[in-house]
Structures are given as C-alpha cells and as structure tokens.
Amino acid sequence: MDFAVNMAWVESSLLAGVRMVAFLVLAPPFSYNGFPLRIKGMLAVALSVVVAPRVSRDYTSLDTGPFLFALIAQLIVGALLGFLVYLVFAAVQSAGGLIDLFGGFQLAQAFDPQSLVNGAQFTRLLHLVSIALLFTSGGYELIIGGLVRTFDALPVTGSLDMSDPGGQLIHGASQMFLASVQIAGPIIVVLFLADVGLALLTRVAPQLNAFQMGYPLKILITLMFGGVIFLALPRVVSALVDDALALMGVVS
C-alpha cells in the first residue's frame, strides 16, 4: 500500500509550528512557567495544523539549504513577535515595581520561579492578576488570532525587514514605560503628597519625629489606594491587548 505525502503541506506546517513555538515561549500569558513545555508544544502543533491550509496555499517545496534558512527566519519572526507582546504587558509589572518602590515594599523583594519575575509584592501580584485577566477576558484568543493573521502578511517563506522592527522595539519600550507610569500614577502622587505632609509636619513640630510614622503610613496608603489599580486593571489589560495586536500587525 502506497501513501501519498504532500511534502509542501508538511514543510509549511513545520515552518508555521516553529514560529508558533517561538511565540508561545516568550509571549504572555503562554510564557508563564506554570504551563508545562509539552503543553506549549502540543498547542503549537495544534495551531500549526489549523493554519496549514492557509500557509500551504501558495507554498512550494524548498531544497535543504533554503528550508533550513526558512526555519531560522521563522524562529526569529516568532521570537520577535512574542517579545513585542511581552514588552507591552511588561508595563503592568513595571507599574507594580513603581508601587513597591514608592510604597516601601521594595525591601521584601523575591524571585518567583514560575513567572520569572524578580520583585516585591505588588510586582508579582499585578503580574499574576494580568495573566488571570488575559484568560478570563478572552484576551489570549485575540493574541492567538493576531498571530494567525501574521501568516497572511508574512508568509512562512518570508523574512522581516529588520530596520522597521528596531523602531518598533524602541516605540514599544517607550510605550511600556509610559503605560507603567500611567497605571501607578495615582498611588505615586498620593505617596509623594504623604512624604511632603510628613516633611512639613516634621518642620513644624520636630519633637514628633513624624518620619518614624512614614513606613507604616505609606504601607497603609498603598494598600488602601491599591484597590483603585485593581478596579482599572481589566480596562488596562484590554488596552494592552489592543496595543500588542497593533505592534504585531505593524511588524508583520
């Protein structure tokens, strides 16, 4: 019995799978180490089978050398797209770091091996909440849909124009810092005003030594106003998903 194998379909699916794997390893929420690597690999294989009819439509079989070059190119494309998504969502982690810094939690810094985040309480808490919101709000589906659409703009045999992604990385980094300041801005302003108030109180009544109350007061203010961040976090995550999709569309 003879089996006919469509090598064009197999090669295009393999190239698509390489892009998928590189993307899922770096892009949140799939980059979270709580998901085993074999699950990520199975998801990448399933997605590559799903997009196989799309990527194999105009694909022709390649020789060994061009095929290996295409594999490396797809690895770079997937890693770059995943890093851009990670860069956008790093704004939430950076906002948590700013809150920890101004709220006095930075001294309790620890490393989380699951999320590979090195930070204090609010850094890790906001990171975990953003991952949970990506799943509960369906944002992960939009991210996967954006990845699938990149195969229309950038076929598996195509390569990136490396001059434009450099500019997009700079733009993404600047937007990440801006978003982190906007997220943590209300608490930072309140904590700054608390420091100013304590300084004025110490100036008026030095015998009170008001700065001794600074650490517990700032921790109390941070915990009280932290609820404002969590109320706004769903809309923040939704906006970050839109920004990530826009970056992926521009690069591809």
What does the mean pLDDT of the chain come to?
A: 78
Instruction: Look up residue 126 and give its two tokens.
Output: 């906001």
Can you read off the two tokens belonging to residue 75?
Answer: 């690895």
pLDDT tens digit sequence for 208-239: 666 677 777 777 878 777 777 778 788 888 88
- 245 vs 72, 82, 84, 156, 241, CA distance in Å? 23, 11, 9, 19, 6
Decide if 156 is inside a domain.
Answer: yes
Distance CA 41, CA 25 (A): 9
Residue 79 lies in a domain: yes
Residue 97 is assigned to a structural domain of this protein = yes
Question: pLDDT tens digits for 231-246?
Answer: 878 888 888 888 887 7
Spatial distance between the Cα atoms of 161 and 158, rounded to a whole number of angstroms: 10
pLDDT digits (tens, 9 = 90+) for 164-197: 556 666 766 777 777 777 777 777 787 777 777 7
Closest CA to 133 of 43, 17, 34, 241: 241
- CB crowding 90-127: b at 16 or more within 10 Å, else e: bbbbbbbbbbbbbbbbbeeeeeeeebebebbbbbbbbb
- Section 131-157 average pLDDT: 83
Q: Is residue 231 part of a domain?
A: yes
Tell me phi and psi for residue 29, to 5 degrees: -85, 5
Is residue 75 domain-resident? yes
* Residue 41 forms part of a structural domain: yes
How many C-beta atoms surround the C-beta of residue 52 within 10 A?
19
Tokens of 199: 């300084």
CA-to-CA distance for 198 and 28, rounded, in angstroms? 41
- Residue 96 inside a domain? The answer is yes
- The answer for residues whose C-beta is within 8 angstroms of residue 27's C-beta and 6 or more apart is 81, 82, 83, 85, 86, 143, 147
Domain assignment of residue 1, yes or no = no
Number of compact structural domains in the chain: 1
> Exposure string (b/e) for 201-237, b if CB count within 10 Å is 16 or more?
ebeeeeeeebeeeeeebbeebbeebbeebeeebeebb
Angle at 8 between CA 7 and CA 11, to 5 degrees: 80
The pLDDT confidence band at residue 250, using thresholds 50, 70 and 90, is low
Determine the residue type at 210. A
List, for residues 170-179, the tens digit of each pLDDT value: 766 777 777 7
Q: Which domain holds residue 193?
A: 7-251
Confidence of residue 138 (pLDDT cuts 50, 70, 90): confident
Higher pLDDT, 195 or 30: 30
Helices (H), the chain: 7-26, 37-55, 64-103, 121-136, 139-153, 163-204, 214-251
Give residue 3's pLDDT.
58
pLDDT at residue number 245: 79
Q: Which two tokens stand for residue 120?
A: 């204090």
The one-letter code for the residue type at 116 is: L
Which pLDDT does position 162 carry in this prediction? 54
- The pTM of the full predicted model, rounded to 2 decimals, is 0.79
